[in-house]
Amino acid sequence: MLKSKKFIAKFCFSIALICLCISYGSGQTEDSMLDDIAPDSEQTTYSTNAFKSPRVINSNSIEMLRQGVLDFRILHRFGLLSGGGYELFGLDQATMRMAFDYGITNQLMVGVGRSTNKKELDGFVKYRILQQSTGKRNMPISLVWASGIMVNGLKDPFGLPDSLAKFKHRLSFYHQLIVGRKFNDKFSLQLSPMLVHQNLTSSIVQPNEIFALGLGTRFKITKRVALTLDTYYTFNKFINRINELPLALGVDIETGGHVFQIHLSNATGMNERAFISDSNGDFFKGDFRIGFNLSRWFQIARSK
């Protein structure tokens, strides 16, 4: 009971800290924001393209799919670069996640995916609460909520006897609040507190609930090329060293109807349970993987 109270206190404190930081940042940029307001103050201009995809690299971004848009997404990651020449620097091994995301409205999207890592099936729903804007409605931040579920598809994931094995043991969940801002045409930043819950863990020293705070950022280099960073700090994970933090660095390349992203990441898994709760390598000792994300959008229904 005491651990639960401490956990809730940390969660509330982190959200309060984020709100304070955003409020301070919006106050510091008041002049630049006023410069962006159109002469017609009755109009509202919404900020778009803070990130070029609904995901930064591994995690959700503040961006949403437009209504009626289907996003077919392939996430591919090779083995550890530190495997050396024998493993062809990771190219002999690979994991992937294939996903379909759909924009129900401009403020609501859903998605499903399947990962080769632990043969996990996942689904999520994502809702935009606030969108950054200037003009008649002046909103300094975007605020998005995401919740998802993962199902372990291995035949015997925990080595339990048949009499004890239950479907519920395979389930994991996450809830995430994403607070972000596009500061200018080149730079965007977001913070995202997340709660990951596993109904059954692989070790008694691994907590069922893990709280993490994510950081995602994008810096635009040219009209079609940008650098991205995606990382999380886990507060109560049993192994809590710096080399256990999921870290990913990427380059986004926009080419017409799709966005191609090449990246380096120390995480094997590509859903929220995997990169938050599973072990990750030491990024700064070469324990990272080369990977790519490919996103192709299809307008399958007319936007209202």
* H or E element, residue 299: strand 289-299
Which range has the worst mean pLDDT, 52-56, 76-80, 148-152, 212-216?
A: 76-80
- pLDDT given at position 25: 45
Correct CATH for 2-155+164-299 of 3.40.50.1360, 2.40.160.40, 3.40.50.720, 2.70.150.10 = 2.40.160.40
**Dihedral over alpha carbons 180, 75, 122, 125 (to 10 degrees):** 30
pLDDT digits (tens, 9 = 90+) for 240-263: 454 478 999 999 998 766 778 999
List C-alpha distances in Å: 233 to 10, 253, 257. 13, 27, 34
pLDDT digits (tens, 9 = 90+) for 281-291: 788 877 888 88
32 or 232, greater pLDDT: 232
CA distance 65 to 70: 8
CB 178 within 8 A of CB 60: yes
CA distance 268 to 261: 17
- pLDDT given at position 87: 63
* H or E element, residue 276: helix 272-277
Does 53 score more than 70 pLDDT?
yes
Alpha carbon 23 to its chain centroid, in Å, reads 23
CB 297 within 8 A of CB 69: yes
Residue 122 token pair: 């996942």
* Residue spans of alpha helices (H) in 29-135: 30-36
Question: 């995301």: which residue's tokens?
Answer: 101
Catalogue the E-assigned strands of 157-257.
171-182, 187-198, 209-220, 225-234, 247-255
How confident is residue 1, by pLDDT bands cut at 50, 70 and 90? Answer: very low
Does 200 score more than 90 pLDDT?
no
138 or 164, greater pLDDT: 138
- pLDDT given at position 93: 73
**140 in the Ramachandran plot: left (φ > 0), alpha (ψ -120 to 50) or beta?**
alpha
For residue 97, give the nearest of 80, 66, 122 by alpha carbon.
Answer: 122
CB 213 within 8 A of CB 191: yes
pLDDT digits (tens, 9 = 90+) for 67-90: 999 999 999 888 676 666 666 666
Residue 12 token pair: 């509330």
User: Rounded to a whole number, what is the distance in angstroms from the first to the last CA of the chain?
Assistant: 49
How confident is residue 14, by pLDDT bands cut at 50, 70 and 90? Answer: low
- Reported pTM: 0.80
* H or E element, residue 23: helix 2-28
Question: 């804007």: which residue's tokens?
Answer: 133
CA-based max dimension of the chain: 70
3-class DSSP state of 300: coil
Does 4 score more than 50 pLDDT?
no
Helices and strands counted in the chain (H then E): 3, 14
Residue 195 token pair: 């709660």
274 or 13, greater pLDDT: 274
- Taking only Cα atoms into account, the Rg of the chain, rounded to an integer number of angstroms, comes to 20
Could you say which DSSP state residue 47 is in? Answer: -
At residue 274, φ and ψ (nearest 5 deg) are -70, -50
Residue 161 token pair: 């006897």
- pLDDT given at position 83: 63
